Amino acid sequence: MPPVVEPRSTPRPAERPEPLRRRPAPAPPRSAILGRRILNYVLLFVTIVLVVDALVGDKGLLQTIRARRQHAEAVAALGALRDENTKLREEVRRLREDPGTIESIAREDLGLIRPGELLFVIRDRARPPGAPTPRR
C-alpha cells in the first residue's frame, strides 16, 4: 500500500491584518451639483416637449383620432352612396324593362290617361272674404 500523505498545513499568522475599508468619498464640488441639476431640468424640458408633440403634433394623437373619425364618416357615407346607387340602378332597369313602371310614371308625372278613361279634376271653391274656415 502506498503511504498516505497528509496535506501540509500552512502556518497561521498570530494576528489578522485589519480589513480594508473604503475611504469616505469627498463631497462633490458645487459646480457638479449645479451641472446635474441643470441636466435634470434640460431632460425634463425635452421630455415635456416630446410628450406635447406626441399629443398635438402633425402626426400626434389628436390628429390621429380626428383622422380615424373622418375615415369612419367617409366609410359610412360611401356605404350610403353605394346603397343609393344600387336603388337607382334598379329604378333604371325597371324604367327600361317594365311597362307598368313606365305607365305609372307617365300617369303621375305627365297626367296622361288611357283612351276611354275620364279625368276628373277637383278644385276647392274660393271662399268669400271673412268666411269662417271649415272644420275637418
AA letter at 5: V
3-state secondary structure of 54: helix
Q: How many CB atoms lie within 10 A of CB 87?
A: 10
Contact 55, 62 (CB under 8 A): yes
The domain spans of the chain are 32-110
Q: How far, in Å, CA of 23 to CA of 48, rounded? A: 40
- Alpha carbon of 36 to those of 29, 40, 41, 43: distances in Å? 11, 6, 9, 10
pLDDT in tens, the chain (136 residues): 666 666 666 656 567 778 888 888 888 788 888 889 999 999 999 999 998 888 888 888 888 999 999 999 999 999 999 999 999 999 999 999 999 898 888 888 887 888 888 877 788 777 777 777 767 6
